[in-house]
C-alpha cells in the first residue's frame, strides 16, 4: 500500500466521526507531506488514491453527501470499510503460551499484534522481572516514559484502550494518575476541611476568601472551612485533587453562574462525587435580586440541548418546586442568545451582609 494510502487510513482511523470529510483528509496530507504533496502530484494524485481505495474496498464514499466541484471530482465524505480480522490458530496458541497473564483477544489478528508487539513485550517484561522500580509507586507519566519512552502514552486514549485490552489497569503497573492542583483557601490549614465551597469564577472566589479571612464564614447556617476556585470547566479535571487531602467525612457545595454551562459543570461534579450539591441559598439570592432583569449574551460555544436538559434535571432536583420552572429560563438558548445571571451578582457587599461569623 502506498505511503499516501497509509496516511489516509491512519487519519481516518483516528478521526472523531464515522464519516470523514474529504477536505479534512486532504488538509492532513498537505500538513504531513508539505511540499512533497504538490511535488508528487497534488490533488490529482489525491483523487486517484481515493478512487483506488474505493476499488480496493478499503473505504466507501458517502454518496448522500455528493461530490466536490473539483476536477476530477471525488465525494465530499468517505468512511472506512471494516476489515475482517485474520485469525491463525498457530498465532493464537503462541499468544496464549507467551502471554498467559494477559487477555490477548484483541491481538488475535496478526497485523494488530505486530502493531502493538513492542508495547505488549515492554509490559510483559515489567510484570515478570523483579526490578526495583517495579516496587515503587510512580506517577503514570513517569511509568509511561520508563516503559515506552513516551510519557504521555498511558494516559492518552490509545494507552487507556491498550491497557484495557490486556485486562490491566494503572495499578497493575504500580502507578497512578496525578491531578492538577486547584487554588484554595482554608482559615485553619492544619485541620482537615469538613464543609467545602467551590466557586466557579475568580472574583467571587476572592470575595468569599476575603470574608473568610475576616471571620465571615457562614451562610444560611452552613459554615465553610475551605473555599476552592473552580476555574470554570477546569474543576471537572482537578476535582480529584481532593484525594490528596485524604478526607473521610466531608460535604461539598458548588456555586457558579446561573446559565447552561454553570449548571452543567455543577451536574458533572455531582456525577463525579455524590457528596456535591449546589449551594441553593446563593442561587436563590441571585434569582431574588436579578430574576426580573436577567442579562443576555451571544454564545460562541454552546452545549447540545440534550446535555443541557439532562444537567438541568439533576441540578434542579435540589431546589423546591416553585424554583424549578424559573431555572429553565437559564438553560434555553435561542439563536445563540443565552439568558443568564453571573455569580458576580452576589458581590462582596451582598455576601458580607448575608454572611455571619461562627
User: Residue 67 sits in a domain of what CATH number?
Assistant: 1.10.10
Q: Are residues 204 and 247 in the same domain?
A: yes
Instruction: Choose the final residue of a domain: 80, 100, 118.
Output: 80
The count of other CB atoms within 10 Å of the CB of residue 309 is: 13
Give the structural domain span for 272: 183-357
Tell me the whole-structure pTM to 2 decimals: 0.61
**151 in the same domain as 263:** no
Nearest to 286 by CA among 198, 218, 208, 354: 354
**pLDDT tens digits along 206-264:** 999 999 999 999 999 999 999 999 988 889 888 888 888 888 889 999 999 999 999 99
- One domain for residues 22 and 37: yes
Final residue before a domain boundary, out of 156, 176, 196: 176
State the total domains in the chain: 3
Shared-domain flag, residues 284 and 207: yes
94 and 152 both lie in a single domain: yes
| Average of per-residue pLDDT across 270-278 | 93
* 167 and 33 together in one domain: no
Q: How many CB atoms lie within 10 A of CB 221?
A: 8
Same domain, 282 and 200: yes
Integer Cα distance of 146 and 261 in angstroms: 39
Q: Give pLDDT, residue 306.
A: 84
For residues 228 and 330, membership in a common domain is answered with yes
Domain co-membership, 203 together with 321: yes
Instruction: Please check whether residues 158 and 196 belong to one and the same domain.
Output: no
User: Percent of the chain at pLDDT above 90?
Assistant: 50
Rounded to an integer, the average pLDDT of 279-293 is 93
Residues 301-307, mean pLDDT to the nearest whole number: 81
Does residue 211 contact residue 219 with C-beta atoms inside 8 Å?
Answer: no
Same domain? 223 vs 342: yes
33 with 52, same domain?
A: yes
What are the φ/ψ torsions at residue 303 (nearest 5 degrees)? -85, 160
Quick: pLDDT tens for 133-179.
788 889 999 999 999 999 999 988 889 889 989 999 999 999 988 87
| pLDDT tens digits along 83-140 | 666 678 889 899 899 998 899 988 988 888 999 999 999 999 999 887 787 888 899 9
Final residue before a domain boundary, out of 176, 204, 224: 176
pLDDT top residue among 349 and 244: 349
CATH at 313: 3.40.1360
Sheet with 195-199, strands from edge to edge, namely 183-185, 226-229, 195-199, 251-255, 276-278
Q: Which pLDDT score is estimated for 1?
A: 58
Which of 75-84, 198-207, 293-302, 303-312 has the largest mean confidence?
A: 198-207
Q: Are strands 77-80 and 20-21 parallel, antiparallel or unpaired?
A: antiparallel
Average pLDDT, the chain: 90
What is the share, in percent, of the chain residues with pLDDT greater than 70?
Answer: 99
- Cα–Cα distances in angstroms (integers) from residue 207 to residues 20, 136, 173, 188, 213, in the given order: 48, 43, 44, 18, 10
Amino acid at each position: 500500500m502506498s505511503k499516501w494510502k497509509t496516511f489516509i487510513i491512519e487519519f481516518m482511523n483516528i478521526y472523531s466521526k464515522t464519516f470523514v470529510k474529504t477536505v479534512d483528509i486532504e488538509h492532513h496530507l498537505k500538513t504531513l507531506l508539505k511540499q512533497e504533496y504538490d511535488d508528487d502530484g497534488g490533488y490529482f494524485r489525491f483523487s486517484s488514491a481515493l478512487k483506488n481505495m474505493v476499488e480496493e474496498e478499503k473505504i466507501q464514499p458517502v454518496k448522500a453527501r455528493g461530490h466536490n466541484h473539483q476536477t476530477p471530482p471525488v465525494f465530499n465524505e468517505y468512511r472506512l470499510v471494516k476489515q475482517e480480522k485474520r485469525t491463525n490458530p498457530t498465532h493464537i496458541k503462541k499468544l496464549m503460551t507467551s502471554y498467559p497473564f494477559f487477555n490477548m483477544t484483541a491481538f488475535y489478528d496478526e497485523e494488530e499484534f505486530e502493531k502493538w508487539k513492542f508495547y505488549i513485550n515492554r509490559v510483559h517484561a515489567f510484570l515478570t522481572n523483579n526490578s526495583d522500580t517495579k516496587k515503587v509507586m510512580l506517577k503514570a507519566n513517569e511509568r509511561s516514559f520508563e516503559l515506552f519512552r513516551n510519557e504521555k502514552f498511558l494516559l492518552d486514549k490509545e494507552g487507556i484502550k491498550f491497557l484495557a485490552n490486556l485486562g490491566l489497569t494503572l495499578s497493575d503497573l504500580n502507578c497512578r494518575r496525578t491531578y492538577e492542583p486547584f487554588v484554595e483557601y482554608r482559615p485553619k490549614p492544619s485541620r482537615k476541611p469538613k464543609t467545602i465551597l467551590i466557586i466557579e469564577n475568580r472574583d467571587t472566589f476572592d470575595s468569599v476568601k476575603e470574608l473568610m479571612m475576616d471571620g465571615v464564614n457562614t451562610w444560611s447556617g452552613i459554615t465553610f472551612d475551605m473555599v476552592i476556585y473552580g476555574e470554570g470547566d477546569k474543576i471537572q479535571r482537578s476535582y480529584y485533587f481532593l484525594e490528596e487531602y485524604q478526607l473521610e467525612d466531608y460535604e461539598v457545595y458548588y456555586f457558579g453562574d446561573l446559565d447552561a454551562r454553570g449548571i452543567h459543570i455543577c451536574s458533572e461534579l455531582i456525577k463525579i462525587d455524590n457528596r456535591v450539591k449546589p449551594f441553593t441559598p446563593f442561587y436563590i439570592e441571585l434569582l431574588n435580586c436579578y430574576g426580573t432583569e436577567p442579562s443576555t449574551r451571544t454564545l460562541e460555544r454552546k452545549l447540545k440541548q440534550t446535555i443541557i436538559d439532562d444537567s438541568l434535571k439533576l441540578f434542579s432536583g435540589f431546589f423546591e418546586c416553585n424554583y424549578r420552572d424559573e431555572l429553565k429560563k437559564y438553560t434555553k438558548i435561542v439563536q445563540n442568545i443565552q439568558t443568564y445571571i453571573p455569580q458576580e451578582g452576589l458581590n462582596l457587599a451582598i455576601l458580607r451582609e448575608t454572611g455571619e461569623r461562627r
